[in-house]
Amino acid sequence: MNFRSLMHVGLTSAICTLVSVNVLAHVGVSTSPLFTGKTQEITLSVPHGCSESVNGVSTAYDTLRVEVQIPQTLTGLRPLDAVFGSATLVKNEAGVITKVIWTKPDSADKGADSHQYNFSIRAKVNASAFTTVYLPTTQYCKNSKGEEISAAWTAMSDDHDHSATATENPAPSFLVYPARTKGWNKYTAPDHLHNMSIFNDAEIVWKGKAGYSANANTAALIAADAAYSVLIEIHPDEEFWVKY
């Protein structure tokens, strides 16, 4: 069977100083997929605390406070209390939530960096499909001297430079997935889509005479048929079809 037959039947580190604050692993959004136009629970994972390096000796400390900036594309937000206790909401003059802060008392400080923490909010995702929503986050700890130290996860950029620089940590983020129905769905790319793995839960992606599938057999049929090519990217404003 060639690919035409398949389609016919409808298958488918920062600069070192004497004293510096580092982090040991990415703070990220662990919930996926998240869909446009839907109210969903969004969970951030904080796998490590803050690490302070003094004269080349690094020591990690427990996280005591986490502050998350909320973009305007998330509305109707309700935070979930964490092991830290109740969340505090920060609002602007218009009453819109701009930040959520989770803080635990000093008496609950574990001292050493020994725990992973999860923080969740429930909100409606109003961002366009195939765009990225960023949640800039700063975590705070106290070192052995009782001084507050912090690690900022705030760098925001598109996927072309993978959301980080040499001196900034990438902000937690998530890709917004489109509303979908079983079968063929027609979309228009709002931006350059060059990571086809975002369609790995689909049977096939089709644009013009190019196709993509995470299924190895389907991918091999696309590559083997001279009438078609393998889809590796989609440009802004291009229409394409996805079969779920």
> Which residues of the chain, if any, have pLDDT below 50?
9-24, 160-166
Residue extents of the structural domains in the chain: 19-177, 180-243
Which two three-digit tokens encode residue 141? Answer: 């700890």
Residues 3, 12: contact at Cβ < 8 Å?
A: no
Sheet with 173-177, strands from edge to edge, namely 34-35, 173-177, 132-134
What's the confidence (pLDDT) of residue 119?
96
What's the confidence (pLDDT) of residue 91?
97
* Backbone region of residue 76 per phi and psi (left: phi > 0; alpha: psi in -120 to 50; beta: other values): left
The class (CATH top level) of 19-177 is mainly beta
Q: What is the pLDDT of residues 42-87, one digit of tens each?
A: 999 999 998 888 778 888 899 999 999 999 999 999 999 998 888 9
**Sole residue written with tokens 């979930």:** 80
What's the confidence (pLDDT) of residue 106?
83
Residues 6, 218: contact at Cβ < 8 Å?
A: yes
What's the confidence (pLDDT) of residue 125?
98
Q: What is the pLDDT of residues 168-179, one digit of tens each?
A: 799 999 999 999
Quick count: other Cβ atoms within 10 Å of Cβ 65? Answer: 17
Which two three-digit tokens encode residue 47? Answer: 């796998």
Which two three-digit tokens encode residue 104? Answer: 């635990």
Supply φ then ψ for residue 39, to 5 degrees.
Answer: -90, 125
What's the confidence (pLDDT) of residue 3?
53
